[in-house]
Structure 1
Amino acid sequence: MRQTDPSQPLATLMVATCNLLNLASAGRSFYPNQDPYHPAEFERKIDWLGERFRALNADILAVQEVWDEAAFKGALSRSGLHYGFAAVPGAENNATQNGAQGTPRVGLATRLQVEALQSFAEFPAGLHVEVPGLGVHRRFERPPLLATLRMKHGQQVNVLTAHLKSKRPKFLQDALGNPLEDRDDRKIAAQASLRSLIMRGVEATALRCIVVDLLQHTATPLVVMGDFNDTPHSVTTQLICATTEVAYDRSARDVALFNADDLQGEAALKKDVAYSHIHQGTPDVLDQILVSEEFLPHGRNSVGDVRRVDYFNDHLHEGRDRTRSDHGFVRALLRLKMPTPQPSAAAPGTATPGS
């Protein structure tokens, strides 16, 4: 399908990924070393998020770092937009659960019809790695969330939200969070960084296994969004995507993922502003939107394309403030083919043109 083919009607789908930086309800503890949000601070945070959600105006919002589902829904309500579905599995607030415990969760809000929702806590069978000092790593720290959605014209779309292990050194500590290692020792710090790399690597491998299961021998488009805590060309991101395999094995496209930023049709809009995080003054893209071959504009199995990708990152230059986010938000405008209208049958006895 050509991006400018006027003969094919197209439906648009706006998707966005947002790391919300420890979105928790007022007064509730989340990390032991961080103070809870006081009420006024919490109100500023959900007001700010509501404004950003309104600016994004996405049909699908994939979010990370949510401690309380109720706080996320509160931010959505401040946007003035209507989302028929919003959920953060593992961070529910009800009579039996008081939000996420230990680590924040990923979630989703959408205007589309939700047909299925699934969290992946455990790695696929047989996949586990020994992490020095920590033991066997078998589970995602923040379980990816898979949503099967259906657009108004009937097209089904799978959306996978992920938040992989950060590069922050993983120092050993006891059950109460007290350090068991000398964090000022540079050799120990290197070992702690290695632990994080191993954990992120095996999480990327596990996510890759989920992607393969979703794509192999199917025609359902897949969008993978989230905070990968690594850049598009890093080993871990490429492990998830396997894009390079396509160069020498065309059949690999069936299970490959492609960075939406590389596929966008409006090339004139691509500027040197594509970053979503600034670490020690260096801008990087950690928050990414990946799509399956169904969004390749000239692909054999194409059902759509990527029209545009936008980075909402001006707030990263406004100073560190936990009522905002330390990540930029990334939005992609996708287009999908709509069914071609069929000509209505002529009534009996009615002459057709040219008869």
Structure 2
Amino acid sequence: MQQELRFATFNVCNLAPAGAKLYDNLAPLTAQEYEAKVAWTAHQLDQLDADVIGLQEIFSLAALRDVLARSSRYRDAMLAGVEAEAGAERLTPQVALVSRLPLAATPAAYPAFPDGVAMPAGSRDADRFARAPLHAQILLPDRRVLDVIVVHLKSKRPDYRNGDCGDDPLLYAQANLRSLIRRGTEAVALRVLLSQLSEAERGGRRPRIVLGDFNDTADAVTTTIVLGAGAWCQPGDELSGRMFDCNQIQLRQDRLRHVGYTNIHEGHYMTIDHVLVSEEFNPASRYAIGEVLDVSYLNDHLLQQRPETSDHGQVLVRLRLYGARDRAEA
């Protein structure tokens, strides 16, 4: 039985067909630019060589299929995502998932917030995610089912309204606050979704992984909301329902040579893309079925700044499933 599994998250940065209009301040890709984008993205996928990859900023599944066809390792991989609406005036970014492991069920997107979660009254799309999380059930080599959720939370880009501009400090502050409220509400909605999955499967204790662009660091309030720390206080069950940042619980903790960042903004190096795992991959849990061996970052391209590359680094996590002997010794 395969013991090592590899999971990755990859914000590809505006993958869309040539000629497609995405934003007012962004020119559509030319045929040559699209060709370069597809070739580079396929190369990065092959470099990751992960069993399951969560992707963000997918404006077209057709473009992603072009990428997979160009790759060496993913031509026959499973692809899950949301198809663009036929006849839509403008494409919108979505998340997607590529898996070389079989799926145990049809993937599902969650565009709407769970009951009880909503943006403040009067907000645009007050009851829904800007990018719907995608939930896939992956069949592991030992026949267990693993829940994988791909996410892309709201960015820190100021959310201006009604023709506002950035010259007024108050308007700028209010626009930043709207972005923070959106990201925070999406984090709460994601936490509720994870809790609902945990509650529905409590008898089976199904492991889960969250992959994605959180648009904030692992210690940010919005990310810790998703992690769920401090929410469970039953003696002996403190880890139940929580998620754990793979970078924090990996077995390899070589701080001297470990260089982990996935984004550079105004000279600041940050890690805003994360892979989170449930307690089943935390050796501190009595329910552990595996462990995080190490976390790697593919980020050299961030310094090259070629037009076809992404503005995000990729995060690759290696997991090891316990065998029968490991479980017996535990």
- Report if TM-score (shorter chain) is over 0.5: yes
1:29-78 Cα distance to aligned partner (Å, 9 max, x none)? 12232111101111111111111111100000100001010111111222
Amino acid at match of 2:172: A
Q: 1:146 aligns with which of 135, 148, 168?
A: 135
For residue 331 of structure 1, the aligned residue among 316, 320, 330 is 316
Show the 5 A alignment for 1:168-247: 168-173=157-162, 180-216=163-199, 217=202, 218-245=204-231
Secondary structure at 1:130's aligned position in 2?
Answer: coil
Deviates more, 1:264-273 or 1:252-261: 264-273
Q: Does residue 66 of the first structure (1) align with residue 58 of the second (2)? A: yes
SS at match of 2:302: helix
* Corresponding residue of 1:254: 240
Determine if the alignment matches structure 1 residue 111 to structure 2 residue 97: no
Aligned-residue CA RMSD (Å): 2.2
- Looking at structure 2, the residues matched to 51 and 248 of structure 1 have their Cα atoms a distance apart, in angstroms, of 47
Measured in 2, the distance between the counterparts of 1:149 and 1:135 equals 34
Structure 1 residues 127, 50: closer, same or farther in 2, change over 3 A?
same
Any runs of at least 4 consecutive aligned residues in structure 1 with deviations exceeding 6 A, and if so which?
none
Shift of the 219–300 alpha-carbon distance from structure 1 to 2, 3 Å rule, reads same
Q: 1:102 to 1:169 in 2, by over 3 A?
A: farther
CA distance in 2, matches of 1:182, 1:167: 16
State the one-letter code of the partner of 1:163: H
- 8 A contact 1:130–1:136 mirrored in 2: no
Which structure has the larger Rg? 1
1:85 is matched with 78
| Equivalent runs, 1:115-134 vs 2, <5 Å | 115-116=104-105, 117-130=107-120, 134=123
Tell me the distance in 2 between the aligned counterparts of 1:220 and 1:161: 17
Change (3 A) 1:244 1:302: same
The offset of 1:250, in angstroms, is 4.7
Instruction: Give the 3-state SS of the residue equivalent to 1:253 in structure 2.
Output: coil
- Map 1:265-276; keep pairs closer than 5 Å: 265-268=251-254, 271-276=257-262
Match of 1:6 in 2: none
Secondary structure in 1 aligned to 2:247?
helix
TM-score, structure 2 normalization: 0.91
In structure 1, give the amino acid aligned to 2:317.
A
Counterparts in 2 of 1:113 and 1:322: CA distance versus 1, 3 Å: same
C-alpha deviation, 1:295, in angstroms: 0.3
Distance 1:100-1:56 versus aligned 2 partners, 3 A rule: farther
Q: Give the gaps of 5 or more residues in structure 1.
A: 1-8, 174-179, 341-355
Comparing 79-88 with 112-121, which one deviates more in the overlay?
Answer: 79-88
> What CA distance in whole angstroms lies between the structure 2 residues aligned with 1:57 and 1:248?
40
Query: How many Å separate the matches in 2 of 1:136 and 1:102?
Result: 17
Query: More displaced, 34-43 or 74-83?
Result: 74-83
Cα separation, 2, equivalents of 1:109 and 1:146: 12
Shift of 1:88: 2.1
Instruction: Quote how far apart the aligned CAs of 1:339 are.
Output: 5.3
Cα distance between partner residues in 1 of 2:267 and 2:235 = 39
Compared with structure 1, are the counterparts of its residues 294 and 186 closer, same or farther at alpha carbon in structure 2 (3 Å cutoff)? same
Q: Does the CA-based 8 Å contact 1:10-1:338 persist in structure 2?
A: no
CA separation in 2, counterparts of 1:100 and 1:213?
Answer: 35
Which position in structure 1 is the counterpart of 2:156? 167
Instruction: Report the 3-state secondary structure (helix = DSSP H, G, I; strand = E; otherwise coil) of the residue aligned with 1:49.
Output: helix
Could you give the per-residue CA deviations for residues 126-169 of structure 1, whole angstroms, max 9, x where no partner exists?
Answer: 211216x6356110000000000102321211100000000100
> Aligned residue for 1:55?
47
User: For residue 328 of structure 2, what is the aligned residue in structure 1?
Assistant: none
Identity over aligned residues, as a percent?
Answer: 36
1:128 to 1:245, Cα distance in 2 relative to 1, 3 A: closer
Deviation at 1:114, TM superposition (A): 0.9
CA pair 182-28 structure 1, distance change in 2 beyond 3 A: closer
Aligned pair count reads: 321
Q: Conserved in 1, the CA contact under 8 Å of 2:111 and 2:131?
A: yes
Length-normalised TM-score, structure 1: 0.85
Please say which of residues 98-107 and 142-151 is displaced more in the overlay. Answer: 98-107
- Uncovered stretches (5+) of structure 2, i.e. residues with no partner: 326-330
User: In structure 1, what is the Cα distance between the partners aligned to 2:97 and 2:324?
Assistant: 27
